[in-house]
């Protein structure tokens, strides 16, 4: 497989380094972001994707691995592709990608990749480009100052060659060597996406049940507990928050809930924060139906 996807940065694309700087392109950081969206899409379509950071990560006791690990790799099973990030002249990019830059994600097949995997990979990137964000520092949004902070990882979809049509995904996920399971991991069905909208830091804090400065918990509704995650400590791991807001290109808000009922409550609360406006709201189920 030689698959190329053309994108354009609307903000800098942060890939991150081991010293928390971004002085060069780190493909592994970008692949981690791609995998996150891939996992959410797999779950949204009824498949199983493990959490590669948990104790229940692949492979399982039988040596099998989930749909995401099948493509992206896990212990004892190498990733099926090599990612190359190219500039407009098809030269390898080794530096951070600044805003307003066209670039290409080139996927070079190292081992046979199934048509279903190619389709899932393309659609994961397309969803992230059209509705979400790619790369590092996106989970901090909004951050830094009281209002909006700095945007990272917003890209624009340009084109993909060759064209990939929708395969028989349900049959693919029914293969016996893919484990089944339940969990509170990102599932695209329970995502929400707002276009032409922005929530400032104070608004986000209010929504997730924190004081204006974010230092005190003041709300204890189930949706607030889920959205805000938690800070790590000696006896517990950190859990990322579940809602993100970007100011660039007219505004973009996205996140996810535990289930459809919680998602509906979150959308209702967001509408109260935003008031009347020309913004649009899509659920993950609507996005899935458009694939």
Nearest to 288 by CA among 118, 120, 161: 120
Clarify whether residues 181 and 218 are in a common domain.
Answer: no
Could you tell me the residue range of the domain that residue 38 belongs to? 2-186
Clarify whether residues 232 and 196 are in a common domain.
Answer: yes
Clarify whether residues 163 and 213 are in a common domain.
Answer: no
Clarify whether residues 138 and 273 are in a common domain.
Answer: no
Clarify whether residues 195 and 118 are in a common domain.
Answer: no
User: For the chain, what is the domain count?
Assistant: 2
What pLDDT is attached to residue 19?
Answer: 43
Torsion-angle region of 257 (φ positive above 0: left; ψ -120 to 50: alpha; else: beta):
beta
Torsion-angle region of 71 (φ positive above 0: left; ψ -120 to 50: alpha; else: beta):
alpha
Q: Is 104:86 a contact under the CB 8 Å cutoff?
A: yes
Tell me the residue length of the chain: 291
Domain boundary residue among 164, 186, 208? 186
Clarify whether residues 176 and 34 are in a common domain.
Answer: yes
Phi, psi values for residue 2, rounded to 5°: -130, 95
Pairing, β 252-256 against β 155-161: unpaired
Q: Is 245:204 a contact under the CB 8 Å cutoff?
A: yes
Clarify whether residues 155 and 112 are in a common domain.
Answer: yes
Clarify whether residues 32 and 110 are in a common domain.
Answer: yes
Torsion-angle region of 135 (φ positive above 0: left; ψ -120 to 50: alpha; else: beta):
left
Nearest to 179 by CA among 43, 37, 78, 31: 43
DSSP-assigned states of every residue in 130-195: HHS--SSSGGG-S-SSSS-------EEEEEEES------HHHHHT-TTS-----SS--GGGEEEEE
Clarify whether residues 143 and 32 are in a common domain.
Answer: yes
Return all residues near 177 (Cβ < 8 A) that are at least 6 apart: 64, 65
DSSP one-letter code for 91:
P
Q: Is 49:66 a contact under the CB 8 Å cutoff?
A: yes
Instruction: Going residue by residue through the chain, which has 291 residues, state the pLDDT in tens, using 9 for 90 and above.
Output: 689 999 999 998 876 544 444 445 556 678 889 999 999 999 999 888 988 877 778 888 888 888 999 999 988 899 999 998 899 999 988 778 899 999 999 999 999 999 999 999 999 999 999 999 998 665 555 555 545 567 888 999 998 877 788 888 878 877 645 555 555 789 999 999 999 999 999 999 999 999 998 889 999 999 999 999 888 777 777 888 999 999 988 999 999 999 999 999 999 999 999 998 899 999 999 999 999
Clarify whether residues 57 and 141 are in a common domain.
Answer: yes
């Amino acid at each position: 497989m030689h698959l190329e996807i053309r994108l354009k940065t609307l903000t800098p694309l942060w890939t991150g380094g081991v010293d928390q700087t971004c002085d060069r392109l780190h493909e592994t950081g970008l692949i981690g972001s791609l995998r996150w969206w891939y996992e959410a899409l797999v779950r949204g379509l009824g498949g199983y994707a493990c959490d590669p950071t948990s104790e229940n990560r692949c492979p399982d006791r039988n040596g099998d691995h989930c749909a995401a690990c099948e493509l992206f790799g896990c212990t004892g099973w190498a990733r099926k592709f090599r990612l190359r990030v190219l500039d407009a002249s098809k030269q390898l990019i080794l530096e951070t990608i600044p805003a307003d830059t066209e670039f290409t994600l080139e996927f070079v097949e190292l081992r046979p990749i199934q048509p279903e995997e190619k389709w899932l990979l393309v659609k994961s990137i397309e969803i992230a480009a059209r509705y979400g964000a790619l790369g590092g520092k996106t989970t901090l949004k909004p951050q830094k100052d009281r209002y909006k902070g700095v945007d990272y990882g917003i890209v624009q979809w340009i084109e993909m060659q060759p064209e990939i049509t929708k395969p028989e995904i349900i049959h693919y996920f029914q293969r016996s060597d893919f484990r089944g399971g339940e969990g509170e991991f990102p599932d695209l069905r329970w995502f929400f996406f707002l276009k032409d909208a922005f929530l400032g830091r104070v608004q986000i804090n209010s929504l997730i049940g924190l004081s204006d400065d974010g230092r005190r918990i003041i709300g204890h509704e189930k949706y607030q507990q889920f959205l805000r995650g938690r800070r790590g400590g000696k006896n517990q791991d950190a859990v990322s928050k579940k809602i993100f807001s970007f100011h660039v290109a007219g505004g973009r808000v996205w996140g996810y809930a535990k289930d459809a009922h919680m998602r509906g409550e979150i959308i209702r609360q967001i509408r109260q924060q935003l008031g009347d406006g020309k913004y649009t709201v899509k659920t993950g189920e609507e996005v899935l139906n458009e694939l």
